[in-house]
Amino acid sequence: MKQYQLYSIISMIFAGLTSVVAKAGLKNITGDTGLAIRTSFVFFFIWINIFIFNQLKDFTNLTRKDILFLVISAFTTTISWIFYYKAIKIGNVSEVALIDKASILITLLLSFFFLNEVITWKIAIGATLILGGLLIISSK
């Protein structure tokens, strides 16, 4: 197994936990309040990670273009998280998470057009299955 695959599996496990735990934490508050609290702790934990693994030196490598893309990513993350938390507050987290994870379809298209990544037949079949699953979930 390649290192990025192991990291992806770890990410998948914790992302799955995140949705359920977040839904439980929204019982008495709005999605926006829950998101603000969660994001504050994420910010804190990320900085701990930076200090523990001595990654402060990476900041000297940043270019203006890097910062611009990271700011755009922060903006798109903010919009995604706001609406995700609104959705899990009022809907079934299992359904919301499935719809949300279909964002991979947008990622595949954008990575093909803007990052010149190759879409193999395996990726195309997987994307088609995800799209089919999304259509099933969203149908009445």
The amino acid at residue 132 is G
Distance CA 28, CA 73 (A): 30
Residues with Cβ within 8 Å of 26's Cβ and at least 6 positions away in sequence, in order, are: 34, 85, 88, 89
Local confidence band at 138 (pLDDT 50, 70, 90 cut-offs): confident
Phi/psi zone of residue 116: left (φ > 0), alpha (ψ -120 to 50 degrees), beta? Answer: left
Domain ranges of the chain: 3-91, 102-140
Residues with Cβ within 8 Å of 49's Cβ and at least 6 positions away in sequence, in order, are: 55
- Identify which has the larger pLDDT, 134 or 40: 40
Identify the burial level of 89 via C-beta atoms within 10 angstroms of its C-beta, where 0-12 means exposed, 13-18 middle and 19 or more buried: buried
- The predicted-structure confidence for 2-32, as pLDDT tens digits, reads as follows 999 999 999 999 999 999 999 999 999 999 9
With a pLDDT cut of 70, the percent of the chain lying above it is 100
| pTM of the predicted protein model | 0.86
Joined together, the tokens standing for residue 31 give 């999605």
- The predicted-structure confidence for 93-117, as pLDDT tens digits, reads as follows 988 998 898 899 999 999 999 999 9
Whole-number Cα distances in Å, 61 to 55, 57, 66, 72: 11, 8, 9, 19
Distance CA 28, CA 41 (A): 19
Phi, psi dihedral angles at 82 (to 5 degrees): -60, -50
